Amino acid sequence: MNSMKNLFFSTTLLLVLAGCSSPQEGSTESSNEINTIHHPNVGIIDVKSTPFEHSFPVQGNVETDKNALIIPEFAGAIEKIFLKEGAKVRKGDAILQINDDVLQASRLELENSLDLAKEMFSRQERIWAQEIGKEVDFLQAKSAVESLEKAIKTLDATIEKSIIRAPFSGVVDRIFVKTGELASPPMPCVRIINLNDLYVRAMVSDHYVGSVSSGDKVMVEIAGFDRIESKVRRVGSFINPANRSVDITVDLPHESSLIPNMIVTLWITDLELEEAISLPTSLVVQDSKGLDFVFVFEDGKAIKRILETGATSEGKILIISGLKEGDKVINRGGDRLMDGDIVNLINDAR
């Protein structure tokens, strides 16, 4: 009987001890969970001042003021062509000649008439000197000589124009006629182009009128050619009401390989700062209120920093306010951060 009591007592004691030990094990597990709370790993970049430049693109057309279609001043057969297409010419060089036989015949007739008029004037002059003839006869003879001299001078100028000459130095781009063909106005017979005075003409939205001025830096871009750095030569003073744009011109260097009527892209610099704070656009996000922000690493925590941003250029955004040099912006591991979260800094993440 005593052995039964001892067994019952031992069993009860074991149960009590087991019950007492359970809370201690649970407490140990909770403590382990607290000790293993995970803090996000983050990387940072140091904020530094660097040059910042913003440009915007517009399309333009390559032009030149020295692109002349030469039209003959009178009709006639092409007698001779002195040069070929592609030839370089200087101002005044002969390019082709129009037959002037009819003009030369007219000149010969005028010369004969002038000789006769001079003889008549000489006689009237002698008579007038002797106070025998009439003054009106003397004046008419004198006027006839002067009129014929002027007519010959005018005809000589026309004969000179039978030779088509280069109006300026350049290249014979196109000859539209052949030897023996009839040339007559208003059909052009030659095109001369000077490629040393090229420029680009473009139309800029009136949105940029206040930020574009003469002297602004421009990058000229065209497929298949090297980029050309230039400047704005002129900004128009009139807004086209049809498309709300302003005309601008950009000079091209003499050694450029561009030719008239090429379509190019102008990257016009409207903002250039020697020192500015900027960040990759991927780091700046918006909150539910539409405010731009980043997380900054401070004292082991991720601190939300509201930003005022400006222009974007080449994957970077200008920071107007909200950051200063030396700030450490979180650039890795910040996808699910909350303001004030404790974070672990990854040493090699900069």
- Residues 182, 191: Cα–Cα separation, whole Å: 17
Query: pTM above 0.85?
Result: no
Q: Cα separations (Å) of 168 from 66, 251, 257, 294? A: 8, 20, 20, 62
- Residues 297, 283: Cα–Cα separation, whole Å: 14
Query: What band does 270 get if pLDDT is binned at 50, 70 and 90?
Result: confident
Is residue 89 within 8 Å of 170, Cβ to Cβ? yes
Neighbours of 314 (CB within 10 A): 10
Is residue 345 within 8 Å of 296, Cβ to Cβ? no
Helix 135-160 × helix 101-129 angle, to 10°: 160
Q: Which of 34, 48, 40, 36 is nearest to 297 (CA)?
A: 40
Written as one letter, the residue type at 296 is V
Is residue 306 within 8 Å of 319, Cβ to Cβ? no
Given a cut of 90, is residue 167 above it in pLDDT?
Answer: yes
Is residue 76 within 8 Å of 185, Cβ to Cβ? no
pLDDT digits (tens, 9 = 90+) for 127-163: 777 777 677 877 888 888 899 999 999 998 889 989 9
pLDDT digits (tens, 9 = 90+) for 33-64: 444 467 889 999 999 999 999 999 999 999 99
Q: Cα separations (Å) of 209 from 183, 203, 213, 321? A: 48, 11, 8, 26
Q: Cα separations (Å) of 33 from 6, 26, 28, 36, 113? A: 42, 11, 9, 5, 127
First-to-last C-alpha distance (Å) of the chain: 80
Name the strand (E) or helix (H) holding 17: helix 2-35
- 100-116 burial string, b = 16+ CB within 10 Å, else e? beebeebbeebeebbee
For the chain, domains (ranges, CATH) are: 41-51+275-349 (2.40.420.20), 56-65+194-273 (2.40.30.170), 72-193 (2.40.50.100)
Q: Cα separations (Å) of 220 from 235, 247, 284? A: 17, 16, 31
Mean pLDDT, to the nearest integer, of 96-123? 89
pLDDT digits (tens, 9 = 90+) for 204-254: 999 888 889 999 999 999 988 889 999 999 999 999 999 999 999 999 998
Work out the mean pLDDT of the chain and round it to a whole number.
Answer: 86
